Amino acid sequence: MGERVRAEVELEQLTQQIRYHEAAYRAGAPEITDAAFDDLVDRYQELAEQLGLDASERLDVQPGQDHTAGFETVEHRVPMLSLEKLSPNRRDSGGEPMPLSDQLSAWFRRRRKELEVDEFPVIVEPKVDGISVSLLYTDGMLRRAVTRGDGRKGDVITKQVERLGTVPIKLKRGGEGEIEIRGELYWPLTEFARFNATLDKPLINPRNGCAGMMKRKDPAGLEETGIRAFFYQVAWDHGVKLPPTQCDTLQWLADRGADVYLSEVFQTASEEDALQYCEDYDARRRTLDYDIDGMVIKLDDLGVYARLGATGHHPHWGIAYKFPPERKPTQLLDIEVSVGKSGKLTPVAILEPVFVSGTTVSRASLHNFVELERKDVRVGDTVLVEKAGEIIPQVVEVDKGKRKRGAKRFVAPDVCPTCGTEAVSEEIFVYCPNPACPDQVRERLRHFASRRAMDIDGMGEVLVDQVVDKLGVRSPDDLFRIEVDALAVLDRMGQKSAERVKTGLEAAKERGLARVLNGLAIRHVGETMAEDLAAYFKTADALLDFAARYVAEDEDAVETVAPAKSSERGAVEGLARKSADSIFHELDAPAVRKVFMGLADVGVTLSVRAADVHEVADVAGKAFVLTGTLPTLKRTEATKRIKAAGGKVSGSISKKTDYVVAGDDPGSKHDKAQSLGVEIIDEAALLALLGEVE
C-alpha cells in the first residue's frame, strides 16, 4: 500500500471517528476527553493538508448536526467560533514536542506583528466547563437564548433559560438598543450532587447533565436544578454604548446584573506571567465549586478584534489554555472484548491497578478497533491512563520506549467472543449479528426494563442478571412469563418484592408500541425515532409488513420513507436512507419477528395507545413546523397534540411542509416559509385545525 493510499485510508477512518465522537458528545455520553478529540481533529487537518484536500470538502467546514428535534434553529449573527488551543500534544516542524511556552510565544509574536506594536495588554479568564449560550436583549429585555450549536447555527432554548431563574430577564441600569451577550450555563458541583442524589440513574457529570437539562422540551422543574450562568463577552450591539476594553466590559455586564468572574481575571502584558497564572490556577481549580477545563487568554483592547479577524475555525484575538488531565502509567495486562446490547464489540483494557483522579482503575476503554490500531496498543505495553471528563477511564497513549520485543498487535475478532457467531463490520465498528448472543441478551433486557423504555418497576440490572442466569430468561416476552414464586426465591427478593415486580410487569404491558420499539434496542431507533415510527405505522403488524416490503426492495415502500431526491422528506421524520436500511432489515429478521410474536402472546400492547390516537382529518398526514413562542401552548404540548391527531412535526421547513405555526419572535423560519409559499398560521388556527375550538 502506497503512502498516499495509507493517508487516504487513515483520513477516512478519522472522519468516521470524529463524526461518531461528535454524536456521542451531543448525546451527553462522551467517550473520550476534549484533548483526545482535539488530537483526532489535529491529525485530520494534518492529513487533509498533506493530501491537498480542498477546504470545501473538509469535515471541519461541513455544517454540524448539533440540533435536537423539536427545537427551532437560528443562525448566529456573529459565528460562535472555538478558540485556538495550546496543546501538550503539538509538535514542531521537526516532529519534536512543542512546549506550551513556545506555542504561546508564537501566538504573541503573530499578534505583535499584525498589530505592529511591541507589547499589548491581555487578560486571563477561567474557562468554566458548561454549555455556551448566546442571549439577545432588546431594550434591556431578554428576547432569545440560543445554544452554540455548530458555531453558526444553534437551537433556541429561551424558555429553558427563563425557567432557570439564574439569567437576567431584564438588564439593570437601562439597556436601550440591541445587544448579544455570550456566556456559559454550568452546574455547580454541590447543586449537581444534590440533584443527582434524587435520580434513579445518576447523570455522568455536571457538564453533560447541564446540556441534557437545557434540551428538555418541557422546562418545568429546571428552576430546581441549581444550574447557573456566567458571562464573558458582548458579541455585537446596536445602539448600546460599551467600554473599550474586555476588562471594563466585564464590569459593565456585572453592573447590569449578569454574573461574571471579574475577581478571577488577571491582567498583564507579559506572556510569561500569563502562562504562569494559567499553571498556578490548575491547583486552585480543585477548590472551586464548579468545573473549569482551562483558561482563556484574550487581548484586552476590543478595538483591535475586527482588525485581527479570524480563520474559519477560530478568532485571532484569543487562545485557550487547557489543563492537562492527570495521567498515570501502568501495564496493559490483557485486552478483552465486550458485547453491547446492539452487538457492538468493544475492546477493553485490563490494567495493572493504578490510582487516577481519585479512584483505582483496573479496566479502561479502548473505544473501537480503529482507535486501537491508530494508537498501536499491544498487550504488555506500558500505557498512560486518564479519565474522560475525570469520570471514564481510558488509555490515551503508549510508551513505546518500554515496549518488549515481540509484542503483537491486537486484531479485531472474526467471531463474537461470547457466542462464536461470525462478526460483521460497519464503518469503524465490529458487530455480533446474533441477537441470541448471551451478552447481547443481558444488555438488551436491561435496556428493555429501563425507565426510558418499558419502565418495569423493580426490574433493575441486578434482578435482570438473576432472571437471565437462574430463570433462563432470553427474550423480552420471557420477562412477562415469570411467576411470583420464581421471583420470590431469588437473592435479595421475597414475596412482597416479587409481587411488586409482577405488578410492574403487568403495568408495562400497556406502555404502547413506541416504548416497545425503543426497548428492543434496534440500531438507530431511539426514543424519538420509536415515537415517529409508532405514530406513522400505528401497529406492529403494519410496521413489520412494511419492513418485509422494504427489504424486498418494493419501490413504493422505499420511496415512502427514503425518497430518491434528497430534497424531499420521507413519511417518517428524520429517517434517512442509510438508517432506514438498517432499521427495516433488522425488523424483518426472523429473531426480531419472533420477539414481537412472543410479546403479542403475553398480552403486550403492540399498537399506539388508544389514548394517544385521535386522528383529525385536517391534520392527519400533514407536516407542521413550529416557530416562535405560542400564546398558551408549550412547544412540547403543541407537538404532542399534532402527532396525536395524525400530523407530523419537523424541525426545519421544506416545500413539503404544509403549515408553519408561528408565535412571537418566529425568527428566520417565518421568512423561509414566506419564500417557499408555505401557509403560516397562528396558535388559534392550529387549535381550529385540531378541532379544539368552536
Tally of residues, the chain: 694
Q: What is the DSSP string of 545-568?
A: HHHHHHHTT-HHHHHHHS-SSTTS
Q: What is the DSSP string of 27-56?
A: TT---S-HHHHHHHHHHHHHHHHHHT--GG
CB 114 within 8 A of CB 131: no
Q: What angle (nearest 5°) sits at the alpha carbon of residue 495, between those of residues 491 and 501?
A: 80
- What's the 3-state SS for 477-505? HHHCCCCHHHHHCCCCCCHHHHHHHHHHH
Active-site residue, from 127, 153, 322, 648: 127
| φ and ψ at residue 580, rounded to 5 degrees | -60, -45
Contacts of 526 (CB under 8 A, 6+ apart): 518
Strand partners, 266: 124
**In the sheet that 623-627 helps form, which strands lie side by side, from edge to edge?**
648-650, 623-627, 659-662, 679-681
Strand partners, 388: 392
In whole angstroms, what is the distance from residue 145 CA to residue 158 CA? 4
Nearest to 557 by CA among 573, 539, 574, 542: 542
C-alpha cell at 294: 482551562
In whole angstroms, what is the distance from residue 172 CA to residue 141 CA? 10
DSSP 8-class letter at 338: E
C-alpha cell at 22: 461528535
In whole angstroms, what is the distance from residue 519 CA to residue 496 CA? 26
Q: Does 159 qualify as catalytic in the annotation?
A: no
The amino acid present at 105, given as its one-letter code, is S
Nearest to 342 by CA among 127, 169, 155, 586: 586
In whole angstroms, what is the distance from residue 559 CA to residue 561 CA? 6
DSSP 8-class letter at 407: P
DSSP 8-class letter at 309: -
- Rg for the chain (alpha carbons), in Å? 27
In whole angstroms, what is the distance from residue 363 CA to residue 61 CA? 36
In whole angstroms, what is the distance from residue 266 CA to residue 250 CA? 12
In whole angstroms, what is the distance from residue 74 CA to residue 667 CA? 7
Catalytic residues: 127
